[in-house]
């Protein structure tokens, strides 16, 4: 199957899933929820989403420079928001935007390996912390989630905490793991992991990634509050994991459909009705479109060569 046909199929699958979720939630009720959205909370959520991606851009820049690819704050920010625009418009979730960042960094005269690895590691860093915060949120919500899954609460919480701590420790084992691999394509990563400042860089990545995910959870909560969905912070910490992971699957355009389905499943144990949960997912998707518009406007700006 040709690449264009595959992209079209992914887009149609995502739209079909979105249509199915809307049908199950009742489109009229979803629309009624969105019409009553509180503008103040909507803007607060959007501001948190923008702040999250600004920190993401700075995190990527720090990683790229650590790997030997020079990029200014202006370029990193502009290219990052341009990538968000591509993610919102192209089939394949985050893949298109990630490829774009690697390509523009290479075209700016930077080393191909450094450009590529900076994007790969930046994405993995975000997913690593997303799963960690989601795990801790699940542990904090064990009293609700465990009965929903027909599991005892205490062992469920202990399992979530233990698994999260092991997950957080995994990157510190990277030098040891890489040293035992002789695959040529891992050579740049082996060299980076052997550097004396590896631990300091890893701490910075962890801190920046935690800030990104906290701000992203705040944006999701802002969308919820705009619709009258008021939940404890731990619930939003849990919800970002399934919602964002599903949105990142390369089976839709901009995460539409998968994100809303995950929002319904993640918030249902806490008594959130399907129309409101779908509305939360839709609002977060609209935040992405708004930030993508900022990226599209940035395409015409001259590249900073300072």
Flag whether 22 is in a domain: yes
Q: What are phi and psi of 180, to 5 degrees?
A: -95, 5
User: What is the total count of domains within the chain?
Assistant: 1
Q: What share of the chain is helix, strand, coil (3-state, %, to 5)?
A: 80, 0, 20
Least confident of 69-73, 122-126, 143-147, 245-249: 245-249
User: Is a pLDDT exceeding 70 seen at residue 278?
Assistant: yes
Confidence at residue 9, expressed as pLDDT on a 0 to 100 scale: 65
Contact 105, 69 (CB under 8 A): yes
Flag whether 178 is in a domain: yes
The model's pLDDT over 174-200, given as tens digits with 9 standing for 90+, comes to 888 888 877 888 888 888 888 899 999
The total of other beta-carbon atoms located within 10 Å of residue 35's CB is 8
Helix or strand (DSSP H, E) at 59 = helix 39-66
Flag whether 247 is in a domain: yes
Q: How does the average pLDDT of the chain come out, rounded?
A: 87
Q: Rounded to whole angstroms, how far apart are CA atoms 235 and 263?
A: 12
- Report CA-CA distances (Å) from 278 to 18, 38, 46, 70, 150: 9, 16, 17, 41, 25
Flag whether 4 is in a domain: no
The sign of the torsion formed by the CA atoms of 11, 16, 21, 23 equals positive
Q: Rounded to whole angstroms, how far apart are CA atoms 122 and 59?
A: 7
User: Is a pLDDT exceeding 60 seen at residue 304?
Assistant: no
Confidence at residue 4, expressed as pLDDT on a 0 to 100 scale: 54
Confidence at residue 185, expressed as pLDDT on a 0 to 100 scale: 82
The model's pLDDT over 131-157, given as tens digits with 9 standing for 90+, comes to 999 999 999 999 999 999 999 999 999
Residue partners of 225: CB distance under 8 A and separation at least 6: 38, 41, 44, 45
3-class DSSP state for residue 173?
helix
Cα angle 148, 149, 151 (rounded to 5 degrees) comes to 110
Identify the residue whose tokens are 């993995």: 124
The packing angle between helices 258-267 and 274-298, to 10°, is 140
Least confident of 56-60, 115-119, 237-241, 246-250: 246-250
Q: Rounded to whole angstroms, how far apart are CA atoms 227 and 32?
A: 10
Tell me the percentage of the chain whose pLDDT exceeds 90: 59
Print the domain residue range for 236.
9-298
Contact 153, 144 (CB under 8 A): no
Nearest CA to 296 out of 95, 118, 89, 8 is that of 89
Flag whether 246 is in a domain: yes
Q: Rounded to whole angstroms, how far apart are CA atoms 69 and 9?
A: 36
Question: What count of residues does the chain have?
Answer: 306
Mean pLDDT throughout 258-282?
94
The segment with the largest mean pLDDT, out of 8-17, 41-50, 167-176, is: 41-50
pLDDT band at 302 (very low <50, low <70, confident <90, very high): very low
Residue partners of 301: CB distance under 8 A and separation at least 6: 78
User: Is a pLDDT exceeding 50 seen at residue 252?
Assistant: yes
pTM for this entry = 0.88
Flag whether 129 is in a domain: yes
Flag whether 214 is in a domain: yes
Confidence at residue 73, expressed as pLDDT on a 0 to 100 scale: 93
Mean pLDDT throughout 88-97?
65
Flag whether 71 is in a domain: yes
Mean pLDDT throughout 53-80?
93
Contact 64, 43 (CB under 8 A): no
């Amino acid at each position: 199957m040709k690449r264009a046909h595959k992209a079209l199929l992914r887009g149609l699958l995502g739209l079909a899933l979105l249509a199915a979720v809307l049908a199950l939630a009742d489109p009229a009720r979803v629309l009624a929820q969105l019409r009553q959205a509180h503008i103040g909370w909507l803007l607060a959520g959007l501001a948190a989403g923008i702040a999250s991606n600004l920190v993401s851009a700075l995190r990527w820049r720090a990683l790229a420079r650590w790997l030997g690819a020079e990029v200014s704050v202006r370029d990193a920010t502009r290219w990052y928001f341009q990538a968000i625009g591509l993610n919102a418009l192209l089939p394949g979730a985050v893949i298109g935007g990630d490829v774009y960042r690697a390509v523009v960094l290479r075209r700016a005269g930077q080393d191909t390996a450094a450009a590529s690895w900076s994007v790969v590691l930046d994405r993995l860093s975000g997913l690593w912390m997303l799963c960690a915060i989601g795990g801790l949120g699940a542990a904090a919500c064990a009293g609700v989630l465990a009965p929903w899954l027909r599991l005892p609460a205490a062992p469920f919480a202990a399992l979530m905490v233990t698994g999260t701590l092991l997950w957080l420790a995994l990157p510190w084992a990277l030098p040891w793991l890489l040293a035992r691999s002789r695959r040529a394509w891992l050579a740049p990563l082996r060299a980076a992991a052997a550097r004396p400042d590896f631990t300091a860089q890893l701490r910075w990545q962890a801190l920046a990634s935690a800030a990104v995910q906290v701000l992203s959870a705040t944006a999701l909560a802002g969308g919820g509050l705009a619709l009258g969905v008021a939940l404890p912070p731990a619930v939003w910490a849990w919800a970002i994991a399934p919602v964002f992971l599903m949105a990142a699957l390369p089976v839709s355009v901009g995460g539409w459909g998968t994100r809303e389905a995950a929002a319904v499943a993640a918030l249902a144990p806490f008594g959130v009705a399907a129309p409101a949960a779908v509305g939360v997912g839709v609002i977060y998707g609209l935040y992405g479109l708004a930030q993508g518009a900022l990226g599209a406007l940035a395409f015409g700006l001259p590249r900073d060569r300072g």
